[in-house]
Amino acid sequence: MPYVLVTAPTAEPVTLAEAKLHLRVDDNADDALIRALITAARQHAEHDTRRALVTQTWKLALDVFPENVVTLDHAPVSTVVSVVYTDPDGVNKTLDAGAYQLDAITEPCRLVPAYGNSWPATRAQVNAVAVTYTCGYGNPDSVPESIKRWMLLRIGALYENREEVLTGRAITLAPLPFVDALLAPYRLLEF
């Protein structure tokens, strides 16, 4: 199931000022690097947890509608923007919003046919169904604090260990179970 980022977040959960304070950096020489590390840490946290941290829009492409449930990664899902499908005659149609229901309580979130409805037939082709949805905790202030703390700790590790090789030996970031445990409550599991 390919997911495509439609609209990226407009802000990061951790600001440059917060990261610089955590890193104890007072000058502006490394601002571009620190911004890149903030983005990398957010992307890693999102990938690891299968969540969206700050509001963003994603599209899920499917070849056909599944039997009953369309599972949506990047919880929490706030709204379904559209469900577009190619009917058996090759015509693209937008499914009426009353024909489906978003279960945003269950994580990962689920999209199911509304009571008394079923998914429509689709043309036998790749990407015949596209579900576009908005997800994330909202603004950066709404992101859980433990995720922000994990990001700051990883930003610190990445800032201090910028090179792949140091004096001829490979550097690997040591696993820090107590750090990675900060993300544990937010990791989504498969159904």
One domain for residues 129 and 180: no
Name the stretches of the chain with pLDDT < 50.
165-166, 171, 191
Question: By the 8 A CB rule, do 154 and 41 touch?
Answer: yes
Q: Is 60 exposed, middle or buried (0-12, 13-18, 19+ CB in 10 A)?
A: buried
What pLDDT does 165 receive? Answer: 44
Domain that holds residue 20: 3-53+140-186
Q: Count other C-beta atoms under 10 Å from residue 153's C-beta.
A: 17
The domain spanning residue 45 has which CATH number?
Answer: 1.10.3230.30
Assess whether 64 and 129 both reside in one domain: yes
The answer on 152 and 124 residing in a single domain is no
Q: Are 111 and 79 in contact (CB under 8 A)?
A: no
Query: Does residue 1 contact residue 59 with C-beta atoms inside 8 Å?
Result: no
**In a shared domain, residues 156 and 131:** no
Beta bridge partners of 118: none
- Identify any residues that bridge with 94 across adjacent strands, giving them in sequence order: 84
Q: How many separate domains does the chain show?
A: 2
- Domain match, 44 and 10 both: yes
Residues 117 and 155 in one domain: no
Tens of pLDDT, residue by residue over 42-71, are 999 999 999 999 999 999 999 999 989 999
Backbone φ and ψ for 109, nearest 5 degrees, come out as: -70, 155
Clarify whether residues 60 and 131 are in a common domain: yes
Residues 89 and 42 in one domain: no
- In a domain, residue 159? The reply is yes
191, part of any domain: no
Looking at residue 189, what is its pLDDT? 77
Q: What is the pTM of this model?
A: 0.87
